Structure 1
Amino acid sequence: MTDKKLFAGAAIKRLRRGAGMTQVALADALDISPSYLNLIERNQRPLSARLMLLLAERFDFDPRQLMAAEPGGGIDGLRRRLADPVFDDISVDRTEVEEWLNAAPNTAEAFVRVFDNRAALPDSTMSRPDPIQLVRREIERWRNHFADLDSMAENLADELRLGAGDLYGAIAERLRVKHQLTIRILPETVLPDKLRRLDLHARQLQLSEMLDPASRTFQAALVLGQIEAKSEIDALVAGGSFADRAAERLHRRHLSNYFAAALMMPYARFLKACEQTGYHIQVLQRRFGAGFEQVAHRLTTLQRVGARGLPFFMVRIDRAGLISKRYSGASNAPLVESQYRCPLWNIHRVFEQPAEVQTQLVALEDGSTWFTLARSVQGIGSGAGGYAPQFAIGLGLSAELAAPLVYARGKDLSLESAVPIGLGCPACTRQQCSQRSAPPKSRSLKFDERERGFAPYNFVED
């Protein structure tokens, strides 16, 4: 562990008070002076790696919990917020953010609170935030891992396995016996625009015949979770403190989906299978009866203390490049937060090669490298023109962690082998890119009538 600067005053104070200790007692336990501990708790001194490990040993907790307690979520948390389009014309690099945190951690925290609570401000001051964004902030606050839901789903999955080898059949039987709900598969003509419908009058869970087996199991598991995990879901929704009713309902839907995935892919068994197969998604699909997108999402949730999986991120885009799902999990990947996407990232090419997993090593402008997987998936139903919906799923993780993946075997994961990409043209400052469709918003254009390069725009270097 490196000796990076970490400001975690509020978290240390909560830890100390929870243990019923005075500053003098905790300082003595850490072999530091009470005045130095006071400075740490006031975010006027950083918490060193040595002290963080001492705290973890004495209080038996995961030291990575303190990272989320940094002002504003630390450097990565601030950079996620600065990726908002409202800041596109301002170039703020990682070094500036680090200097900000070191010099004024409380100011950084104040900025984050204002940014995250824009819904409370008058409309004339700032526009009302998208409820999807509000829910994303809450999901990322938990790093998309909800331990209580995961444990409950895992216990239920083990209980269901004892009764039947077929999970769908076991869920159907539990719904019938314990909740007096029968599952009925209805023709597409009866449910032309719905995947499921819960008819409480008829005591039926009605599912569309258009659902494939994995989706059918998922929908049945979701309804079972809505019933049996209601109190746990209610508590997590309440903890989000959403002022926006739509955001509250979106978060409830996410948690219900989370429970369904955790029931289909119980944590310990799923993580073991990931490690045994090198995170081979197709094998995981077969082993757990899940779809590609379901497995991809599950990979972003493996953050159980003491049994962590690799920190994947996931995005889902359509052919127009519009994003409809994004989960950074514990990856802190800029590719998730960016409003735009680079056309040189091969996630845009998978529509032409259905069901084929494509890999790519990419390097961002900040010097970080990411190993990515992409594949197209087909949705259910049809769009306005009668076409079946298609999406591209992008998965990835830091290249330095990618060696265990079956997809990375035999590949050079060095920076020199990476494809240089940006975070979308308006946010990218790479010069001489012939693929560029717009100039960076943080740079001024420059012109030379005597010559013309491959790139459509020239701009001033910072």
Structure 2
Amino acid sequence: MAELTDRKLYLGPKLRVLRRELGLNQTRMAEELGVSPSYLNHLERNQRPLTAQMLLRLANTYDIDIRDFTATPAEGGPGELSEILSDALVRDIGIARDEILEVAENYPGVSEAIARFYRALGDLRRLPGDALDRSSPGPLVAPVDWLRETIARAGNHFAEIDAGAESLAAGLPDDPALLQAELRARLKDRHGMSVQLVRGDVLAGTLRHYDMHRRRLMLSERLPASGRLFAIAYHLCAQELADSIAAQIARAAPPDEDSRRLASIALTNYAAAALLMPYDRFRQAAEQGRHDIALLRDRFGMSTEQVAHRLTSLNRTGARGIPFFMVRIDRAGIISKRFDGEAWPFARYGGLCPRWDACDARAPDRVETQLIETLDGRRFVTLAMALPHRPDGGRASPVIALGCEAKHAGRIVHADGLDTEKDEATGVGPTCHLCERRDCPDRALPPVTRALDLHSYERTIAPYPFRRV
């Protein structure tokens, strides 16, 4: 609570949304909170800040989590809205930053709606001119974007699925080798499904295949041990946690069949990870081992990517882990997977900052640690790890990068030796076309928010010099 009292909290829109969700008018809520209706009205209109005492009353009266209530929205916030409104389509309007802040902070629903429209516009822009059938427009949001948005809203944590997987894991051995044998036996005894390891040429182009007629799960010999264990857990969870997964998909309300299938696969993957890395045991191991990636990987028999992904999902109320963000990046800097955590420091659209060293990680068994600082002075510790050679035969092995605010560095063994307050940090920006760092020699594009300041008589170290105002 001390952290919350360091700053004034104007959370009127959230308070108004909570009241409407509870079906209360201002008079009734004011009575239940022990304040006057006029004071509650001032709170909802951001004319008064929420005090620590009022937050405690809200938590006790309506059983809400204070951290969730005071958290910055994962999408549609000032940074994202500013990024959207810098698009060439509306840039000439010159919307002032204070207007953007007012909309983002006071009207989060409007901000989210704008963000969804912008994602839909991005999808349409990627289509060739004759590809859009006006008579059958299809979904306005791409299934992958819809899934990413859905996971972000949930904080990458699905409590019902986690609880079901943890209950299932309670009667299983901890040792990964014994666990695989037990999972195979359970699939066979309870669901009539056998598991068979086959040569790579038998499953050409496929790493695992379930033969529904013979009820046989075939795993390619190219799969590492962690991949085999995960595949078996995936199919067991598809059977035994089907109701929890289906309920979560129903609540998410996928807009089309492709989105529904993606959600089903993603949530079954989530369930498998929760089964193999049960919440409490994994969180305690992570804290006790100070988030040593190799230690967690060996103890649970998982891959680097599986461990990193699981670390981003430790968001259970009352037992949260470090709020990591995570990305999977290829050598070209293209993001194929992203979980924003609580403080994603880069743009949500476009490329990453070239000054972030994550893409340079090359050794699979080595964690590359970097201290970075954003334009607004926030500091982050990032951990980048190259993945081993891909079992699918692809040439470009991606990089997994985890990151969190620097205040958590003391809980991470890979950050030992860093003085997060005194050491020089690498200055990074959201992405080149939105970055206003004037002295950056690594800039690839001019900022769309500033006018260029080019002269034939000089060449500056930083490309694309621009005016300050």
The 8 Å contact of residues 312 and 395 in structure 1, kept in 2 or not, is answered as yes
Correspondence for 1:6 among 7, 11, 14: 11
Structure 1 residue 170: Cα displacement: 1.3
- What is the aligned partner in structure 1 of residue 159 from structure 2? 147
Deviations 1:326-368 (A, max 9, x none): 0013x231337352111211102113x3421100000011221
Question: Offset at 1:41?
Answer: 5.5
Conserved? CA contact 1:373–1:395, under 8 Å? yes
**For 2:444, which of 437, 448, 454 is the aligned residue?**
437
Pick aligned residue for 2:391 from 357, 360, 380:
380
CA displacement, residues 161-202 of structure 1 (integer Å, 9 cap, x when unaligned): 399971111111110000000001111010011111111111
Q: Which residue of 1 aligns with 2:128?
A: none
C-alpha distance in structure 2 between counterparts of 1:74 and 1:246, whole Å: 24
Q: Could you say which residue in structure 2 is the equivalent of 1:348?
A: 359
Deviations 1:389-424 (A, max 9, x none): 400111000112222111122311016521111122
1:456 aligns with 2:463: yes
Which residue of 1 is the match for residue 55 of structure 2?
52
**Does the 8 Å contact 2:198/2:220 carry over to 1?**
yes
CA contact (8 A) 1:341 1:424 kept: yes
SS of structure 2 residue aligned to 1:167:
helix
Report the Cα distance in structure 2 between the residues aligned to 1:79 and 1:364, rounded to whole angstroms: 12
Cα distance in 1 between the residues matched to 2:62 and 2:412: 34
After superposition, the Cα gap between the structure-2 partners of 1:428 and 1:221, relative to the gap in structure 1 and judged at 3 Å, is same
Partner of 1:61: 64
Q: Helix, strand or coil for the counterpart of 2:384?
A: strand
Query: Equivalent residue for 1:289?
Result: 301
How many Å apart are 1:45 and its aligned residue?
6.0
> Which residue does 1:399 correspond to in 2?
406
Identity %: 37
- 1:44/1:460 CA distance change after superposition, 3 Å: same
How many angstroms does 1:250 deviate by? 1.4
Give distance in 1, aligned partners of 2:313 and 2:249.
18
Q: Which residue number in structure 1 is paired with residue 375 of structure 2?
A: 365
> 1:412 — aligned with what?
419
Which letter maps to 2:450?
A: R
**Aligned residue in 2 for 1:179:** 191
Residue 235 of structure 1, CA deviation: 1.5
Closer/same/farther in 2, CA of residues 367 and 180 from structure 1, 3 Å limit:
same
Alignment deviations for residues 124-160 of structure 1 (CA, whole Å, 9 cap, x no partner):
8999332211111110110100000111111111122
Q: Write the mapping of 1:170-319 to structure 2, written as runs, cut at 5 A.
A: 170-319=182-331
Task: Indicate conservation of the 8 Å contact 2:81/2:111, yes or no.
Answer: no
Task: Give the counterpart of 1:335 among 343, 346, 350.
Answer: 346
Amino acid at match of 2:357: N
Between the aligned partners of 1:189 and 1:177, the Cα distance in structure 2 is: 29
Shift in Å, 1:376: 0.5
Counterpart check, 1:447 vs 2:454? yes
Question: In the TM superposition, what is the alpha-carbon distance from 1:452 to its structure 2 partner?
Answer: 1.1
Please give the alpha-carbon distance, in whole angstroms, between the structure 2 residues aligned to 1:92 and 1:236.
39
**Cα distance change, pair 325–82 in 1 and its aligned pair in 2 (3 A):** farther
Verify the 8 A CA contact 1:75 1:98 in the aligned structure 2.
no
Take 1:140 and 1:186, find their aligned partners in 2: how far apart are those partners?
37
> Residue in 2 aligned with 1:320?
332
Gaps of 5+ in 1: none
CA distance in 2, matches of 1:392, 1:120: 28
2:37 and 2:156 map into 1 onto residues whose CA distance is: 37
Alpha carbons of 1:164 and 1:248: their partners in 2 closer, same or farther (altered >3 Å)? Answer: closer
CA distance in 2, matches of 1:339, 1:93: 22
Instruction: Determine the structure 1 residue equivalent to 2:38.
Output: 35
Instruction: Extract unaligned runs of 5+ from structure 2.
Output: 125-131
TM-align CA RMSD: 3.0
Distance 1:281 1:127 in 2: 39
Code of the aligned partner of 1:435: D
1:252 to 1:40, Cα distance in 2 relative to 1, 3 A: farther
* Corresponding residue SS for 2:365: coil
Match of 2:80 in 1: 80
Q: 2: distance between equivalents of 1:25 and 1:85?
A: 39
- TM superposition shift of 1:249: 1.6
Counterpart Cα distance in 2 of 1:242 and 1:133: 12
CA contact (8 A) 1:313 1:336 kept: no
Amino acid at match of 1:350: A
Letter in structure 2 aligned against 1:65? D
- The Cα shift of 1:242 comes to 2.1
* 1:99 to 2:102 alignment: yes
Query: Contact between 1:428 and 1:440, CA under 8 Å: does it hold in 2?
Result: yes
Report the CA distance between 1:30 and its aligned residue: 2.5
Give the superposition deviation at 1:93.
9.0
Q: Which residue of 1 aligns with 2:129?
A: none
Q: How does 1:125-144 map to 2 (within 5 A)?
A: 128-144=140-156
Distance of 2:76 and 2:453 partners within structure 1: 32
Q: Given residue 58 of structure 2, which amino acid in structure 1 is its aligned partner? A: L
TM-score with structure 1 setting the length = 0.88
SS in 2 for 1:170: helix
Higher deviation after alignment, 450-459 or 391-400: 450-459
SS of equivalent to 1:430: coil
CA 1:279–1:196: 2 relative to 1, 3 Å = same
**Contact kept? 1:427, 1:442, Cα under 8 Å:** yes
Distance 1:404 1:194 in 2: 39
Aligned pairs, how many? 447
The corresponding residue for 2:428 is: 421
Q: Given the superposition, is the C-alpha separation of residues 235 and 117 from structure 1 closer, same or farther in structure 2, using an over 3 Å criterion?
A: farther
